[in-house]
Structures are given as structure tokens and as C-alpha cells.
Amino acid sequence: MAPMALALILGWWLVAASRAQQLPPPSLSLHPSQGVSLGDTVTLRCHLPQLAARVELCQEGYRGTEMCKDMDVLQDTAEFSLVNVRRKDAVKYWCQYRVFQPPGTSKKSDPVELLVTDHSYPPPGISLIPKESVELGTNVTIQCWNQEYGGIIFLHKAGHSAPIQHQVPDGGGTATFTIFGVTPSDSGTYRCSYRIGGSSLLLSPLGDNVTLEVISRPVSPGDNGRPHGNLVAAVAGGCAAAIAFILVVIVSFLLAAHRRQIRRDENPGATTRSPKAVQFQVSPADSQALTYAQLQVLTPSTHSPGSSTTPEPSVIYAEVGT
């Protein structure tokens, strides 16, 4: 009898375990998802992938224990409300559901964290190094400090429901967050908070904000896709160089012409080279049939225009054939 009962229990457990593996997990969301303070009301919604008989909402208890409460559901969403939120409510939550036909329990949903702000603590300070506008690829440092309150310091970015970084402060209560090689996606507004006491989800108020703006680095002339302004500058530089070259050529030509004019002024009596005499060779057999004629050639005068000297004619004898 005992072995049969044991076999039935084992079989039921295997069926339940197999059923649990087949049931898809639900999802859990917080409303509002951020900016919750002590005394506020928060709604936790468990979204079911299928109709279920009962839904359980569980929260993380002391030293890892679980505290759960359940409710009957007639639709695909179950809502649980936390009225007048207290410090102890700043914990992790998850949900799961059960069905009766055939019996089974789903896997747990992914946990969500309820961050609660305690405004009785002062907000932390913040600074941005370098200043707000930085070039693409620059390393940026954000410093946050909470003076003597200690605790982990959290860095928040606008648009994110949870802190994007956290760090234990140094002895002076300062945490240094470095963003290496910033990109346009790093642009935005940043603020800080810090953890209070032993709870990682009970936070101070958010401090003042700093805005990071990432701008594109000026494109060098050798880069592809350089802006129109650089192209215009290159064209203007080429034109200027061409004009300068033309001016140099013109000035050189004028200087050469001026030097030639100076030489003429310094030597006004320079004469033109007289043509050289050319002697024609005639064979003796043909020399008897030649007739000689006397030609007069005036050689250009080497005297000044005012001189009364009459140029002497030169005589040239030429043989003329008959």
C-alpha cells in the first residue's frame, strides 16, 4: 500500500512539474514606474498569457524569504495595490499563476524593483567635467556627492526608469562616474541619488540635474563627406594661388622690359651690325660671259642726327650674266 501511495504522489509531482514547465510565465509592471515617494499609492499589474484560476503576488522578505498573497481572476490581468507606501515596501516583486484543468503552476515572472524616495534626506550634489557641450568621442566625468550620509550613490538619466550606474562613494562621500568615448546616445539630462540605510531601494530625493550635449567633431579636409564650407575654402585657396602666380609672371615681364629700356638709354649710339660680304664662286669657263655692274650701298651712320657729316657710299661690284 505504501509503495502505491508513493508512486501516486511521485506521479502527481511529475505531472505538476511538467505542467509548470509548459505554462509560460506572466509579466509584472509598476504604475507609476518611477518617482514613488513614501505615502504614495502604487499599483502592481500581473499580465497573464492565458486565463488562470488564481494569481499570486510575492515580495522579497527578510533574508530572502517570500511573502505572497493571491487573488481570483476572471480576465488576463490581475492588479494589486500598495496604499500608503512605507519603507518596508521598497523591495522586489514578482507574480505567477495557477490553473486547475489540468492542474499546474506557471514559472515566476521577472522581478521588478519598487524604488521609494524618502524626502526627509537632502538631495546629493552633482557636477559635469568638462562642461555641457563636448565633442564626439570625448571622455566625460560626472561626480556626485552626498556628504556624510554614505550609502551607494546612483546615477540616473532622463528616460530610464532605473539608475544606469551605481558606485560606493570614497571617504569624502563622492562617487565618480566616467563615460568613455561619448556618442550622441549619451546626450541627455543626468541626476543623482543615494541609498538610505540598509535598503538598496530606499533612496534620497534626486539632486540637481546637468545636461550633456554631444556635438560632432569638425571634419578634417581629408575626410570623406566634408562639409560644403571646406570645399568652398579649398576652391578659394586654389584661385588665390593662381592669381598670385599670374601676378608674379606679369611683374617679371615688366622688370625684364624695364631693364632692356635702361640698357638702350645707357648706349644711344649703338650701331646695327653690318652685313657680312658674301663671295660667290664662279668657274673660269663662265667668267668671260659675265658683265660687271657698280652698286652703291649706304651704310647706316654712326653719328648723331645733328652731325653734318655726309655718309660715304660704299661700292660693291657684282657680276651680272648676259
Q: Residue 279, exposed/middle/buried by CB under 10 A (0-12, 13-18, 19+)?
A: exposed
Strand partners, 44: 30, 80
Domain 14-117 CATH superfamily: Immunoglobulins (2.60.40.10)
- Rounded Cα distance between 256 and 274, Å, is 27
User: Is 136 in contact with 183 (CB distance < 8 Å)?
Assistant: yes
For the chain, give me the number of helices (H) and strands (E)? Answer: 2, 21
Reported as a pLDDT band with limits 50, 70 and 90, residue 148 is: confident
Enter the C-alpha cell of residue 308.
Answer: 653734318
Contacts of 55 (CB under 8 A, 6+ apart): 26, 46, 48, 70, 71, 73, 78, 95, 96, 97, 98
Check whether 242 has a pLDDT greater than 60: yes
Helix (H) or strand (E) holding 47: strand 42-47
DSSP 182: -
- Rounded Cα distance between 280 and 284, Å, is 13
The reported pTM is: 0.53
pLDDT for the residue 3: 60
Q: Look at 33 and 128; give whichever has higher pLDDT.
A: 128
pLDDT for the residue 310: 52
Maximal CA-CA distance, the chain: 170
Question: What count of other Cβ atoms lies within 10 Å of the Cβ of residue 122?
Answer: 13
Candidate ranges 12-21, 112-121, 148-157; pick with highest mean pLDDT: 112-121
DSSP 64: G
Half-sphere exposure of 182 (CA within 13 A, CB side): 25
Alpha helices in 195-282 (DSSP H): 228-266
- Residue whose C-alpha cell reads 606679369 in the numeric block: 250
pLDDT for the residue 184: 93
Question: What count of other Cβ atoms lies within 10 Å of the Cβ of residue 36?
Answer: 22
- Rounded Cα distance between 235 and 223, Å, is 16
Candidate ranges 2-6, 115-119, 188-192; pick with highest mean pLDDT: 188-192
Taking the domains of the chain in order of start, what are their residue ranges? Answer: 14-117, 125-215
Q: Of the candidates 81, 63, 205, which has an alpha carbon nearest to the alpha carbon of residue 144?
A: 205
Q: Residue 266, exposed/middle/buried by CB under 10 A (0-12, 13-18, 19+)?
A: exposed
Alpha-carbon separation of residue 292 from 298, 316, 320 (angstroms): 20, 10, 6
pLDDT for the residue 322: 47
In this structure, which amino acid lies at residue 228? H
**Which of helix, strand or coil describes residue 246?**
helix
Enter the C-alpha cell of residue 108.
Answer: 515566476
Mean per-residue pLDDT of the chain: 77
- Rounded Cα distance between 197 and 90, Å, is 12
Asked if the domains at 14-117 and 125-215 fall in one CATH topology, the answer is yes
Tens digits of per-residue pLDDT, 187-212?
Answer: 999 999 998 876 678 889 999 999 99
**Which of helix, strand or coil describes residue 236?**
helix
Tens digits of per-residue pLDDT, 259-314?
Answer: 888 877 776 655 545 445 445 455 555 555 555 545 454 555 554 444 445 555 55
CATH number for the domain running over 125-215: 2.60.40.10
Enter the C-alpha cell of residue 234.
Answer: 579649398
pLDDT for the residue 225: 43
3-class SS letters over 5-26: HHHHHHHHHHHHHHHHHHCCCC
- Rounded Cα distance between 86 and 63, Å, is 19
